[in-house]
Amino acid sequence: MKNPAIIGKNLTLGYQKGNLRKEVLESLDFELYTGELTCLLGPNGVGKSTLVKAILGQLTPWNGSIKIDQKEISKFTISDLAKTLSVVLTEPIFPGNMTVGQLVALGRIVHTSWTGRLDEEDKAAVKNALSLTKIGYLENERLSEISDGQRQKAMIARALAQDGAIMILDEPTAHLDLVNRYEIMHLLREIAQKEKKAILVVTHDLEIAMETADQFWILNCGIPLISGIPEELVISGKINHLLPGEKFHFDADKGRIKKKTEEDNWKIIGDPIFSYWVKKALEKSRVKVQDSMITVNKSPFSLEFEGKSFSTLSDFISFLGKN
Ligand SMILES: Nc1ncnc2c1ncn2[C@@H]1O[C@H](COP(=O)(O)OP(=O)(O)OP(=O)(O)O)[C@@H](O)[C@H]1O
């Protein structure tokens, strides 16, 4: 039986300026589970950050409830909420001359007395957070002198040191390269499982989320929040709610977003993986071949077409382009 750390029911959220009311999300239901990494996905402007603000207690729902341990979020004191819930935002907001160790220690503020002095338990929590995020070696480095990926890990370590049951991260990998994006998401999944945290990550990285998330929450205009195991959402086709419109769809075969193409007339034989990449390049090049067979030889790589042989894809595509 899964244990929900947060339960949202019939939630309606929006913003009000004077008499102007702007509703952003309506009648949302969700459960965020302990020990799992949940990814919140949806197009720009749909209301992901708005939902995060409500979960963080920064935006009062117009309707419905958000509860942690059966207690309404609005009933928590700021200090109790900080002991339960930690947050990592996209933009680093800490001074560059602060060291990684000092940043992570800030996570303990909610547990220390007014003097801010760390006791043995606090120091152990800082060490543990540095070790879980594998950045112990950076403890004395300044934030301005480490890479973006390392800084993001330090931000995660600070949230971990805070030691709440729930972690919320709003686009934590937004400015990172592909390898760092994978690394951080795998790290978060590991932390969710090992440390029994409920982790919610807002992300636009569908493919990386597909690899790492235990649950998806999908938001899109005009539909209720869709939640479920990512693979289940692929099987049911619900994943396509992320990609409204006719142009793109989620290719269940390849596990990625694909442009819908007209029925192609490529006839390609040979190694299936090489054939896949040849087909992909031909689709992109928009050249047309009528009914002729393309044979893909693997080693050495060559393409045979209408009695001619090509040793590179680019030679083949430029030949087709000239015909
Ligand atoms: N403080 C605010 N006051 C009024 N409207 C706001 C406010 N913040 C956000 N909005 C509006 O709420 C809607 C949802 O915005 P939100 O930032 O939650 O979307 P998002 O899904 O997080 O987008 P993105 O993927 O671009 O970060 C948008 O129409 C936005 O203009």
pLDDT digits (tens, 9 = 90+) for 153-201: 999 999 999 988 999 999 988 878 888 899 889 999 999 999 999 999 9
Q: For ligand 1, is residue 25 a contact (CB within 6 Å)?
A: no
Lookup: tokens for 114? 């007014």
Task: Look at residue 196 in the predicted model and tell me its pLDDT.
Answer: 94
Mutate to test the pocket of ligand 1, among 11, 13, 15 (most ligand atoms within 8 A of CB): 15
Query: Mean pLDDT throughout 310-320?
Result: 89
Ligand 1 midpoint to CA 132 (Å): 33
CA of 143 to the centre of ligand 1 (A): 29
Please state the φ and ψ torsions of residue 199, each to the nearest 5 degrees: -115, 125
Q: Is 24 in the pocket of ligand 1 (CB under 6 A)?
A: yes
Q: What is the pLDDT of residue 265?
A: 66
Distance 49 CA to ligand 1 centre (A): 7
Atom of ligand 1 lying closest to residue 42 CA? 21
Looking from the CA of residue 50, the nearest atom of ligand 1 is: 18
Determine the average pLDDT of the residues in 38-45.
95
* pLDDT number for residue 202: 96
Atom of ligand 1 nearest to the CA of 46: 21
CB neighbour burial string for 239-277, b if at least 16 within 10 angstroms, e if fewer: bbbbbeeeeeebeeeeeeebeeeeeeeeebebeeebbee
Ligand 1 neighbour 158 (Cβ under 6 A): no
pLDDT band for 282, please (50, 70, 90 cuts): confident
d(CA 41, CA 235): 18
What is the rounded average pLDDT of the residues 50-54? 95
pLDDT score of 229 more than 80:
yes
User: What is the separation of C-alpha 274 from the centre of its chain, rounded to a whole number of angstroms?
Assistant: 30
Q: 18 CB less than 6 Å from ligand 1?
A: no
Q: How confident is the model at residue 113 (pLDDT cuts 50, 70, 90)?
A: low
CATH 3.40.50.300 domain residues, the chain: 4-248
Per-residue pLDDT at 263 = 55
4-248: CATH superfamily: P-loop containing nucleotide triphosphate hydrolases (3.40.50.300)
Q: Does pLDDT of 14 surpass 90?
A: yes
Going by alpha carbons, the residue nearest to atom 4 of ligand 1 is: 15
Catalogue the E-assigned strands of the chain. Answer: 4-17, 20-33, 37-41, 63-68, 71-72, 85-88, 166-170, 198-202, 215-218, 226-228, 248-251, 256-259, 267-270, 293-297, 302-305, 308-310
Report how far apart, in Å, the C-alpha atoms of 159 and of each of 70, 82, 106, 166, 256 are.
23, 10, 9, 10, 31
Residue position matching structure tokens 């390609």 = 268
Q: What is the pTM of this model?
A: 0.84
Mean pLDDT of 304-309: 90
Per-residue burial over 6-16, b if 16 or more Cβ lie within 10 Å, else e, is bebeebebbee
What is the position in ligand 1's atom list of the atom closest to the CA of 204?
Answer: 25
> For position 262, what pLDDT does the model report?
54
Asked whether 221 lines ligand 1 (CB < 6 A), one says no
How do beta strands 302-305 and 308-310 pair?
antiparallel
In testing the pocket of ligand 1, which one of 16, 44, 48, 50 has its CB within 8 Å of the most ligand atoms? Answer: 50
Q: Kindly state the average pLDDT of the residues 114-138.
A: 87
Mean per-residue pLDDT, 97-121: 84
Give the phi and the psi of residue 295 in degrees, each rounded to 5. Answer: -105, 130
* Contact of 185 with 204, CB cutoff 8 Å: no
Six-digit token pair at 255?
């596990």
